[in-house]
Structure 1
Amino acid sequence: MKIRFIFFLTLIFFCIFSAVSGCTESNDRNSGGLNESLKEESQQIAGNYVRDLDSYKTCNLTEPVLTESTNLNCSSCWQFVYKFDLVSEKDPDVVDTATVTVTVTEGEVVDTSYAQGSRYKLGIPSGSMGADDLLEKPVYDTEVFVYGTVSELEASEPDNVEKVSFKLNWENAELPVMSTGKPTGIEDIENGDWIIVTGELKTGNETGRDKGPVLFASRVQTEDLAETGLFTSEVNVNEEEMIVREIPANETAQAYRVWYEIREDGTTLEAKEKIFQNISPDNPIEIEIRDVKTGSTYTIRVFIRNMEGRILYDTEHVGGFGVEEKKTK
């Protein structure tokens, strides 16, 4: 009798434990789903805040990209970090990167921070950095794109550019640059030029120097790459439509990343990035506005990169009923 009692008591405890565990697991699943829903809602609120910034609405070149999301000390408290590229107000040939941190609590934006800094000039590959940034956060044995101004340019022998050395200066930083062969484009470089260097950073131990890292250059580029006739524009405007054709100088068909914005009397109708395939002089990039309105002015901003991210062309076209004005930046 005592054994039966113990057996039934054990069975009762087992059932109670199973029920409690099931409830706990169910609650965890429900809580997880609720947290995910709150996160998505908070992220949408933060994204809308970024898109409503004046700097984004007037100068943006790319869509905001979410780079970080953090759950704070409550289930409905989230912090999001977004980044987007925009045209610098100080220099239209400079592309800045804006970093926006947005804190959302219970569905409301409660705190924000905004930082904006120079990222690259027209013609510089995406992801490039100043000489000061590379020295502050060295990246070794990996191809990097570094910009600055040239000083102390020397060849190993007079009139011989097979081996060169110079200093790359930016923001009070001085980065030694060397080459073991002839870097592409070195013939066009002089002291004082603003350039972009493609190369790999080596440690002082690897180079036999005791004075710190050295950038070994494989290519140098001048700052006027965006002005070398990579594209030409053709605009047709009539009372029914406005068509912009961006015609590449390169006859080899290839793909391009194109961001464009269409505005009607200052109001944005469309803004998007699109990949155009098989583009050549015979098959140019084409952007059109259909059903234009009488008396309205239309603006088409076009920003073209290659698939590696290098900026090739930045232009703006304004038209309305046979009157067209093009502004190339």
Structure 2
Amino acid sequence: MDFNTSTLKDFEEAHDRIRNHIHRTPILTNATINEMAGCSISFKCENFQKVGAFKARGGMNAILGLSDADKQKGVATHSSGNHAQAVALAAKVAGIKAWIVMPSNAPKVKKDAVKGYGAEVIECEPTIDAREDTLNAVIQENGALLIHPYNDERIIIGQGTATKELIEDAEKDFDYILTPIGGGGLISGAALVSHYLSPNTKVIGGEPEAADDAYRSFKSGQLVKNDGPPKTIADGLLTNLGDKNFEVIKKYVHDIYLVNDAEIMVALRLVWERMKIIIEPSCAVPLAVVLKNKSVFENKNVGIVLSGGNVDLGKIKFD
């Protein structure tokens, strides 16, 4: 599809397609966090989603939307975690074959989860080039269809259903909606669906300072990549921004803000301690943005998509 011709109907059809295979996740609030932030925040809890992240939505939409002929070919992708599980689960629901290329250093628990859904895991060296080369070889050998982790219209529309639910269920008009930015699938979907359902809402992205390719792309108007392997506690946001996502961001996203790892960890700990729920570091980035820029959000209604809760506890170190 062409995003210039996309409509609300695309999101409605995607939502109808996947609704029986995902959770309609809750919206939570916290008085203490609101007081600290100086605004009213509604948290859309995709950390409670199937596979533990919003990725289940895009994977399910992309695969369940395939024709019967395409389903016979099977699907393939590369991912170190959440998208891998999302595609594996969606392929299981659709009853089709899935090949998932995963880096050798991906957590064993995630590899086991993908295998548990019935997908075939092909390991490769832990570099982007190795992942893409291995995936291309798998597709060449098996004739499988590529389900890209984020740079895919079907994925973007699927991810947008999280924000669709947030707008529908919150019973308030949002001044701002925030999501983290990695490859750009979540914020692209959020920006598009907000454009249709809540056009006065400003969509803002949050990104780690150490992986700021989306910020630099947005400010320059030209798609750029991270310089070398970025290092940040927000390991779910290390991917470079996709070109399809960038086109949506340029047109529909209001702004992108940066936060550092210390600020991310403050937000993470705040959610763990005050809300009693587990989120991953990448998920804490939008709250960190709000806490860092209080004057922007003061006395506003703010929606935040909590993107996921798949945490490697061994990497979490609180001072």
TM-score range, shorter chain: under 0.3
Structure with the higher helix share, 1 or 2: 2
Tell me the TM-score normalised to structure 2 length.
0.25
Tell me the TM-score normalised to structure 1 length.
0.25
